[in-house]
Chain A
Amino acid sequence: MEFMSETLYIAAIITFGGMFGYFLEASGLGSPKKINAQFVLKDWTVFKVMFTSIVVAAGGFLILDMLWITDSSTFAIPTTFFWAMLIGGALLGIGLNIGGYCPGTSVVGLFSGRIDGLFFMIGMMIGILLFALLFEYIEPLYHATKGAESQTLSELIGLPSWVIVISLFVMAVIGFIAGNKVERKGNGVINSNDLDND
């Protein structure tokens, strides 16, 4: 039984990981060109896919919590380290536009045939090694400006979760409308056949 449940657990993780890869690839987010087109605001796919998935998952937790199926307050909720996370996020944004990938999408890129994805992965491991080598100098920044333990937006603002989720939903709708408008105007959406024209 012990072995069986362990196997099922791993099977579930592979399945959800597989869906993650499948939907990223199907949306075109394995392509550096398509991702970069978001950051020059021609193709809003990154925003749309990310925001939709956040609203679906957050909305799902609300419903499952109400039905007593889950208790999302027990989920792993990261704790804020203000400067480390703001600067770290910025470095990932810069790295994405220079190198074409995020840690996750480099796997998608490589396994849909993009050799540059492998080079990005090698770069990432060099970056982690550099971080470890320089850690004694970075450590003060790494631990600085710690926020409240596992703080959520609803705790920060003092509004119930469902208000936050509905606000995110409204922001997503506005983003979709704005994005569609810009995309139509600039004819900037990159599709799979566009990537074959090089």
Chain B
Amino acid sequence: MNPLELTLGIMTSVGGFVDISELVFAARAGSTFAFALIWVFVLGTIGIIVFGEMSGRVAATAKQPVFNLMRHRLGLKLGLVTLAASLISNLITCAAEIGGVSLVLNYLVGWPYMLNAVLMVIAMIATIWVLPFKWIERIYGLLGLFMIVFAAALVAMHPPWGKIAGGLVPQIPPGLSTKELLTFAYFAVAILSAVLFPYEVYFYSSGGIEEEWGRKDLLTNRLTCIVGFGLGSLLAISILANSAIQFGPANVDPAIPGTAALQAAIPFGKWGLILALLGMFFAVAGAAVETCLSNAYCVSQFFGWAWGRHKKPWEAPRFTIAWITMFVLALAIILTGVDPMQLVEFAVLFSILVLPLTYLPLLLLAGDKSYMREQVNGPIAKSLGWLFFAIITVAAVAALPLFFLTSGGQA
């Protein structure tokens, strides 16, 4: 285990943890329900640590990426359904991220939103084309560390730490009306979905194969997931807590992503604002790249095409066409003029429906001794895996009714 590699891997995970959906839902959850939804972020983070570690272990041991397994484990028909659902979910998420990053660029330099979307897609295509996998991941992840300004802002605001700690305990705030209860439940489901986005596992496990992980990398995998995702989650919780302190009392339910950046401007002024915007810019751009590549990974792995950024673009032509097409389709969605915040809602909603189908084959394979040998799921990983599978299944069943009953959390 190389300590430098490990540190960089962890820092990349921290900087790349927050995406546009987490940003939006953390800010809205804090302003609406103060600290009462912090525990959902903690729950989701434990879930993504469990499944992330599992997917990395499978990649390192069985040398199998997630979508390769799906076809074998779910069969062709159900596999195709999962593939189609994942492609749609990732495409909507990618469009939401491109919309988000274009808005942030608008706040930073003032260029028009649509022009930003086109420029960003060109820039991201160029980045993927030119850079090797490790550097694609690291550049966005490490620069996303500017998001730490949100945690610093929280400390500078002298928050009620006791109340924040109280938010770690699973709870439903007392005295809520039926409407408010439904909205609370909708936010809980949306946060779980945003933290457990399926693309994260597709990208992470495919990355393991790209980087040719073996058994020697198992500890790095475990530490990266636990420490990286754990610290990354603290950034999301900081955004929620800042929102509870700064926005809730001011009657602000942050409706646009730019409002979140004010959390750093209030204690630190212009420099805080710029750091927050830069952090948001790189974190969201990184998520756009990851969602786009995830779709190319999914489709290539499912159909057995040559894939990977360790190959030159022309050595894996169908994979290359897949990720470029993904960017073009996501851009086309943005250019229709659809509200990026609506895309965030749809991304979260669609993703939670796909989650059980994503995690079931992974859970089955990680528990299969014939593939995993001594790296098979132990009792803790097995229990946590099935527990989270049950949680996301319940969340998936509840997601659509809650969305309609609460008008997307606005009721």
Are A and B a genuine interacting pair, yes or no? no
Interface of A toward B, CB cutoff 8 Å: none
